[in-house]
């Protein structure tokens, strides 16, 4: 099912971060959202996650659908291990064995039991990605999931995400065209309010 965003606007006090943004995210596809810093990419994801409402506009296609997410920050439970963090939202389906298999697939087989506060930035990022994948969902909202990873880890992690999100809708914010290629996704460019926004690669978008 497509996710249709119509005339979405959001302001923090005097500062408008999203102005009359409209786009259609085709169901079951990966859409990579690119744009300058401050253009409202993360705000858009947060509104789609339901963290706060838009000031105006509408969203269709997310009703009663299970959402999973990688946030811009890792947002891990610092004193717990990678395995525990990954299993946290997964419920019964996230067995210890599955968690270990997922973390191992991302190259974390030797860091399963350490508290995540002791892991490097790149390792923590991969734990956050594994948590989102193991949580499962019909829509994955990923805010720079490959941020802080070296080139090899980026490729491994992108392949891992693609493998486990088949059939689901993926909206991924990124700053890198290389990551768009790794994710084999459509590209949606967001531009600042003044100039309007356009889409490319099969994704339609308008507004700012």
Partner 1 sequence: MGRKEWEKGKWAGKAPRLLSALLALAVWQVGALLLNQPILLAPPGEVLARLVALCFTGGFWLAVGFSFTRILTGFFAALLIGTVLGIAGSRLPLIDILLWPYIAAIKSAPVASFIILCLIWLSAANLSIFIAFLMVLPVIYNNVRQGILGTDPQLLEMAAVFRLGFGRRLLFIYLPQLKPYVVSACGAALGMSWKAGVAAEVIGIPTGSIGERLYEAKVHLLIPDLFAWTAVVILASVLFEKLLLAALRKAYDRLEKI
Q: Contact residues for partner 1 (CB under 8 A)?
A: 49-51, 67-69, 71, 73, 75, 77-81, 84, 88-89, 115, 135
Shortest CB 137 distance to partner 1, Å: 9
Cβ closest to partner 1, residue 107 vs residue 148 = 148
Residue 190 CB, shortest distance to partner 1, in Å, is: 22
For partner 1, the closer of residues 63 and 150 by Cβ is 63
**Residues 38, 51 contacting (CB under 8 angstroms):** no
Q: In this complex, which beta carbon is closest to partner 1, that of residue 52 or of residue 181?
A: 52
Dig out the tokens for 162 from the structure.
Answer: 């693609």
Q: Which is nearer to partner 1, 25 or 71 (CB)?
A: 71
| Spatial separation of the C-alpha atoms in residues 148 and 123, rounded to whole Å | 9
Q: How far apart are CA 184 and CA 157, in angstroms?
A: 13
Q: How far is the CB of 73 from partner 1 (least distance, A)?
A: 6
**Closest Cα to residue 149, out of 159, 164, 140?**
159
Residue 162's Cβ-side half-sphere holds a number of Cα atoms within 13 Å equal to: 15
Strand order in the sheet with 3-12: 56-60, 3-12, 15-25, 204-206
The minimum distance between CB 76 and partner 1, in angstroms, equals 9
């Amino acid at each position: 099912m497509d996710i249709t965003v119509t005339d979405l606007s959001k302001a923090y006090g005097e500062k408008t971060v999203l102005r009359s943004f409209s786009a259609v995210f085709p169901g079951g596809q990966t859409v990579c959202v690119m744009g300058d810093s401050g253009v409202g990419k993360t705000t858009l994801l947060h509104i789609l996650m339901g963290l706060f409402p838009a000031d105006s506009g509408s969203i269709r296609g997310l009703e009663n659908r299970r959402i999973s997410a990688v946030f811009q920050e890792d947002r891990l439970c610092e004193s717990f291990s990678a395995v525990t963090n990954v299993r946290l939202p997964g419920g019964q389906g996230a067995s210890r064995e599955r968690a270990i298999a997922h973390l191992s697939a991302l190259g974390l087989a030797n860091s399963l039991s350490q508290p995540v506060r002791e892991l490097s930035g790149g390792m923590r990022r991969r734990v956050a990605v594994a948590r989102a994948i193991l949580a499962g969902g019909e829509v994955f909202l990923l805010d720079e999931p490959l941020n802080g990873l070296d080139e090899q880890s980026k490729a491994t992690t992108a392949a891992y995400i693609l493998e486990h999100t088949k059939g689901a809708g993926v909206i991924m914010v990124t700053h890198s065209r290389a990551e768009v290629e790794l994710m084999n996704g459509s590209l949606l460019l967001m531009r600042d309010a003044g100039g309007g926004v356009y889409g490319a690669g099969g994704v339609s978008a308008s507004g700012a």
